[in-house]
Structure 1
Amino acid sequence: MIKNIIFDFGDIFINLDKPATDKYLNAFGVNHEDPELISVMYSYEKGLMTTVQFMEYFYITYAIGKEDLLTAWNSILLDFPAHRLRFIQELSASKKYRLFLLSNTNDMHISWIQKDWGIEVFEQFKNCFEKFYLSHQIHFRKPDEDIFNYVLSENDLVPEETLFVDDVSANTATAKKLGMHVWNLVPGKEDVVNLKI
């Protein structure tokens, strides 16, 4: 019996244009397969480096200025459909499940979302969840097992009583390995509002 639901954020609630940032940075000669760049991005996503340090890296390495980086970095973020906010508000109000959000989200992205949505809407969304876990605040990232173990342990969640909803197969694979039920949602073909438990 499902008692807990852990939701991802991007392409579950907020729509994403995943290739957008790479396309934008290509013009600056950024090699997205560079191991150093990948390491820097993961460090930033885990909150192990500040936004200032992250921006300095791109300026020193690729001569990308602050405004260009902000535009490129946040170009992945699209709209937040109102029907999804209504869905999570209604699910939260029903008190049927303990609800959690678990997202690989960095400081620049969450700052853009708060500004784009407005703090009131952002807080309405955030308040639907018992806990709101962002990778840069807890220093873990999916699909590593430690981020799932952290959430399960901190909230005394039984994996077999927990559903994890994410659009990335590597993330749902880890959750499934740990004993959770999973929904590997396909963006554009499926919508979280059609959740069936």
Structure 2
Amino acid sequence: MIKTLIFDFGDVFINLDKKGAMKHALDIFKLDVFSEEMIAFNAFYEQGLISTEEFLDFYLENFPYLDVDEILYAWNYIIKDFPEYRLEFIKKLASEKKYQLILLSNTNSLHINLIKERVTFYDEFKCCFHKFYLSHEIQLRKPEASIYNFVLKENNLKPEDCLFIDDTIENTEAAKKLGINVWNIDETTQDIVDLFTIKEELF
């Protein structure tokens, strides 16, 4: 029986443009693919292992023909709108007090600060959750098993009592290996507000 719902943030509540952001970044960096060093550095930043200043310095040093504003625009390009009907969905869930609600997101300081600026109801959204875990704050990152074990241990949860919703297959597969129920949501055809219809068999 599901007692705890664990939600990703991007492409579950807030819309992202991953393809557009990648295309824009490759265009301004004049690359065909991201280098392994860039991928690693991005992951370090998302995990809170380097500061925003160190992150920006890395890109300024490697792409000296770009300025800070251009790099920030490229980095934040991925962040799009947060439909308010999804806020109403999570508010209703919170008010019913039937499930423990947890947010577990791979994100970083620049993205979350931009979201706070753009999304007028960010604090209202955050208050719906019993726990609100952001990777750069807890220095753990999906799909590593350590982040799921951290959430389970800190909240005294049994994996079989949890449902984890995420749009990235690597993340849901990693959680599934630990015995957590999962929904790998397809953001192009599915919506979190239809959770109890699409995953009806779990409830």
**Which residue is equivalent to 1:52?**
53
Post-superposition offset of 1:29: 2.1
1:66-99 superposed Cα distances (whole Å, 9 cap, x missing partner): 1011111111011000110000000011000000
Tell me the secondary structure at the aligned position of residue 102 of structure 1: strand
Post-superposition offset of 1:158: 0.6
**Which residue is equivalent to 1:178?**
178
Instruction: Tell me the TM-score normalized by structure 1.
Output: 0.96
Post-superposition offset of 1:22: 1.9
Instruction: Tell me the TM-score normalized by structure 2.
Output: 0.93
Post-superposition offset of 1:24: 1.8
**Which residue is equivalent to 1:24?**
24
The number of equivalent residue pairs is 195
**Which residue is equivalent to 2:149?**
149
| Alignment partners' CA distance in 1, 2:49 and 2:33 | 20
What's the C-alpha RMSD, in Å, of the aligned pairs? Answer: 1.0
| Alignment partners' CA distance in 1, 2:152 and 2:33 | 33
Identity percentage over the alignment?
Answer: 47
Post-superposition offset of 1:19: 1.6
**Which residue is equivalent to 2:119?**
117
Task: Check 1:46–1:31 CA distance in 2 against 1; reply closer, same or farther (3 A cut).
Answer: farther
| Alignment partners' CA distance in 1, 2:143 and 2:31 | 24
**Which residue is equivalent to 2:200?**
none
| Alignment partners' CA distance in 1, 2:62 and 2:135 | 25
Letter in 2 for 1:185: I
Letter in 2 for 1:37: M
Q: Which runs of 5+ in 2 are unaligned?
A: 197-202
Q: Which runs of 5+ in 1 are unaligned?
A: none
Post-superposition offset of 1:21: 2.4
**Which residue is equivalent to 2:160?**
160
Tell me if structure 2 keeps the 8 A contact 1:20–1:72: no
**Which residue is equivalent to 1:84?**
86
